[in-house]
Amino acid sequence: MRSDARHARGTYLRRVTVIATESLSKRFPRVTALDRLSVDVGPGVTGLVGANGAGKSTLIKILLGLSPATEGRAEVLGLDVATKGAAIRERVGYMPEHDCLPPDVSATEFVVHMARMSGLPPTAARERTADTLRHVGLYEERYRPIGGYSTGMKQRVKLAQALVHDPQLVFLDEPTNGLDPVGRDEMLGLIRRIHTDFGISVLVTSHLLGELERTCDHVVVVDGGKLLRSSSTTDFTQTTTTLAIEVTDTDEHPDGTRAVREALHARGVSVEDGSGLPGAGHVLLLTAQGEETYDLVRDVIADLGLGLVRMEQRRHHISEVFTSSDEREQRKEAVGHGG
């Protein structure tokens, strides 16, 4: 993967839509996997979020031209998935969620084979395989049989075969599955570098929403085959007017959180317990109304002789999209029962 060529490609891709769907539906006899899904995805690293059964895997199969849509249309890199599936697969890499690796061959043999399947001539396939295995951190282990690899190493082999033919776009289906925290961080770093170093756009699925907040430029949220929201990660995680406070306990105040809550209530400040919210520990939440709110909180904590662990404005989290969706459904059901 040559960085200069990738930079030129990345400059071009910023002006185009990488994936586009319009009223895309996929129905099976007993379930609707996708329901009139319309979404545009630009270049960069895009997260596809949804619970099991949300339609993520079905969407990827349609985008690869491997499964026909029931209705609607979709394009990948400007190519119609209904008629240009083979051309799309030449330009797109795919890392499946489940293991599909032959245990008795080496990483080099397997990735060379996949490169040849993608149309690369023998010499180019071997050269690209060496470069790609070096990029994913398997160069020193490239001649070992895959059956002796750890889960993390197998995930890297799957990533390498998705990249070896120098694609413009890769689909990564749950790439951190089965990895420990260190392995997840390393994989997320590789995913970011796929785009930043080589200009390859990425569509990555994950059920770990914190991973997507850290890794993606854009997030698409689907639920029950329908689009809940599609926007930049910064829009999802923008700051709120809510101030989060966490304090220490002391001998005089063994429950420092309760002491602060009562003191603020006595001064007319409404305070909520934020322990159940995403990204919150045992904290108090209140609405910030300018610098005077910060001054008041500091004064209260100082008067109580407590230590301040943190005081910061909360950010929204992607998981709140699902919470608000559930609340809307509950309100609809309540209205329906009431009528």
User: In terms of pLDDT, which residue wins out, 235 or 157?
Assistant: 157
pLDDT at 238: 63
Is pLDDT of 281 > 50? no
DSSP state of 168: S
Same domain, 173 and 249: no
Same domain, 38 and 64: yes
pLDDT at 321: 58
Same domain, 231 and 243: no
Q: What is the pLDDT of residues 245-268, one digit of tens each?
A: 888 888 888 888 889 989 988 888
Give percent of the chain with pLDDT exceeding 90.
54
- Tell me if 213 sits within 8 A of 237, measured CB to CB: yes
Same domain, 85 and 209: yes
Average pLDDT over residues 80-95: 95
Q: How confident is the model at residue 62 (pLDDT cuts 50, 70, 90)?
A: very high
Last residue of a domain, one of 221, 236, 251: 236
Q: How many domains does the chain have?
A: 2
Same domain, 217 and 307: no
Is pLDDT of 243 > 50? yes
pLDDT at 218: 92
Q: What is the pLDDT of residues 1-40, one digit of tens each?
A: 544 444 444 444 445 789 999 999 999 999 999 999 999 9
* Structure tokens that stand for 289 in this block: 């109304």
Same domain, 230 and 269: no
Half-sphere exposure of 3 (CA within 13 A, CB side): 4
Structure pTM? 0.71
**What strands, in cross-sheet order, belong to the sheet with 272-273?**
272-273, 284-287, 239-247, 308-315
Pairing of the two strands 272-273 and 284-287: antiparallel
Residue 301 structural domain: 239-315
User: In terms of pLDDT, which residue wins out, 51 or 87?
Assistant: 87
* Structure tokens that stand for 246 in this block: 């966490």
User: In terms of pLDDT, which residue wins out, 284 or 66?
Assistant: 66
pLDDT at 201: 97
Last residue of a domain, one of 214, 236, 258: 236
Last residue of a domain, one of 206, 236, 266: 236
Is pLDDT of 279 > 90? no
- Angle CA 323–184–101, to nearest 5: 110
Same domain, 230 and 296: no
Average pLDDT over residues 149-167: 96
pLDDT at 211: 79
Give percent of the chain with pLDDT exceeding 70.
84
Quick check: is 323 in a domain?
Answer: no
Q: How confident is the model at residue 326 (pLDDT cuts 50, 70, 90)?
A: very low
Is pLDDT of 317 > 80? no
* Structure tokens that stand for 66 in this block: 């491997």
Quick check: is 220 in a domain?
Answer: yes
Measured between alpha carbons, how far is residue 7 from residues 4, 12, 18, 194 in Å?
5, 9, 16, 12
Least confident window among 45-49, 70-74, 284-288: 284-288
Q: Could you give the CA distance from residue 299 to residue 286 in angstroms, rounded to a whole number?
A: 15
Q: How confident is the model at residue 316 (pLDDT cuts 50, 70, 90)?
A: low
pLDDT at 105: 97
Is pLDDT of 224 > 60? yes
Q: Which of 149, 162, 60, 67 is nearest to 111 (CA)?
A: 162
User: In terms of pLDDT, which residue wins out, 338 or 304?
Assistant: 304
pLDDT at 143: 97
